[in-house]
Structure 1
């Protein structure tokens, strides 16, 4: 893009041509004029002209208008080939921090660190991005529908560019992705040229402190990044109108923040849960998240933004890997019992081993039975004591036989429960993902059996006596269906 020389403004005003002709080396090229404010530029077609004749952007062109000043003979100042020191345009790149709306003929050397699209492709779509310069300063940029077609294929997250000419407007939307007071809008004379540039930083996450979210001490209109491990699944709701899932995120200090994911983000989370629920801690990284201010008894919470957010779950990104390493004190890897400090297989130094339950029980329903594998969380809830506490009492009673089953395990007998399980044919058992003694939930599960009309509903919560020989096994009710009434229960920790 080249600005039209002042002399032609005087001759054309107020009737500017739509196109002019560039003639060079026996060829003629149509070049469109673009207006921006009171200024005009040679724009569309100029890139093809340079490419055809091998003329680099750094080479100076001289124009001579001989046919009513709309046909220009173009001369090149200096050789095109073998030019050792081309004459460059003296324009130092502007700094993002200095953008204040006073000028719009900006030249920026930047990296696109985030890119997303809003609207319907081909109809109302626009691109939005965050760019960063060599000082690490960021600004929000919008390429609206009328300009997107020309630039969509050139815009790539992570790539570096030289960009020229934008409309500068106030950054005053309801939610903002940068704290810069201004944002940039693509216009007809915007130029974007991808090139390899050094010294431009990669994306840096702006992780929010859970304490600030809980205390409500954050700027509510500024989108933030958040990372944590899923500590508790609250509920989800799916309808033709909207989709929503709510869970608690926990940081390394065991602080909890409620997180809500909507629509596509909800689907992504639930699909991951379906395939990887029992494979380890679920570490979630959500960028450009909204902060919802607390109301009454409801504390502050976070949720995804409409399209600007990116949801990443347990992927090999540096922040997730670093979080996982620091989360290792919560590791559930299996190890032998060491009486002295040791290093876990995951690499974490431990003062001592922490005992956890892994109990195989026989369950029955009517005249059928099978084996279920109960893990630490379920056993602790049903027994009312942790494995460490049970072992301590066992030793205090003088029972040092590690192979002897603690008396406390008898408390597992006789429970009537609804289970969600993962079938493991290779081990000839099913591992328990969730369980509940809630009667309403149990009756909901009973209703799903094919012979539900012949099943007696449970009406009382009278616990079985563990000494009763008739009830020497766990009673259970379990079914696998598309509608899972157990979905709202807390997640089973990784074993």
Structure 2
């Protein structure tokens, strides 16, 4: 006689769990385990579990069952679990986006298991830009990976009458996008000690980080029990990240002053008007030092020598390589090879890699690069949506939404990296933008109200004008540099 029941020995992946069944059996790694107290539920054991496919689920042991499971549940162990109950998962903070979590029965069996891969697909890492533009659901924790480039002082903050250590660190990703991370309690101490002993390029992995907005700026922080902070951990994913970092020689620095992380509390308005150096396009292309700056430019064209998008693996978010004759005309989705997952994949996502050629009154040009987060915010549509809209005709066609950027004026905050100093053809990565008319007017007015003084630059030859971005073989008219000088009248000087 046939039966619809599952075999007692069959395993279910987390993504395939049916919430209406209580006979699901899963094999998972206990990624994180901590004890908590909730006013309505009393003491609990909280866990974040991950399966072989990299999917996560939250699990909880109630107060009445803690004594039974306390000695058999250990962080880092691989176990099989069944049976268990699935209950609604809600609240202000969640370790994943599922609508349900596991509740242990008293009868739940926990059995050790050795058959588990050393590394699983990374599904929960997010781009820094997705945090900085406020597009993340702040209720759901995220994973981040970054190089620690700045470490602030440890501060003792009073929380409910108890002194708690607090440490701000600055992370950067492979595109040199910077993100502030606030660490509390033991994490603050551990990171401070490690970075002081290892002043080279420290890679930090933070699992289950909380996305927070404070005074108009987006940062991340640890969420006490759920978060796990790893410094220079081994693994293919970390090695691949490290190999892709900018080759600009940036190493970790310690700044024991309160101004280091002022950017974490700076509004967009202050980013463009107060906190960052104002630069012309000529200043940017002739820069001799790395750094951040803001500029007001007009988009002259969209670069067409490369695609405005790239294809990424849906599992790990990294770029993939197409196979020949990869049209999908046979009804099956096209296949790609993912080097990070080391397998063929058909589940892919299209992401922005948009290059704009911009200029200003100096008649110099530069190429500004917007990655996926900035592109999605600017165009208010995902790259996948734009690709789908034109792909049936010709994917090489530039979507009208992108073409409409030509002629528009923007404020951009860009990073000048080591690659920019080595090659004038390198792109400047956009960290922030604004097309707000009032802010653009205020920026322009702030330039007009400043006193002009000479800008020291390296003399430019006729040939160098072309190499450095000039629009013609002859040098454009020397621009002027503006700066405020107390008690002096406004004067203008040529920069040559």
Structure with more contact order per residue of length (Cα contacts < 8 Å, sep ≥ 6): 2
* Fold conserved between structures, TM > 0.5: no
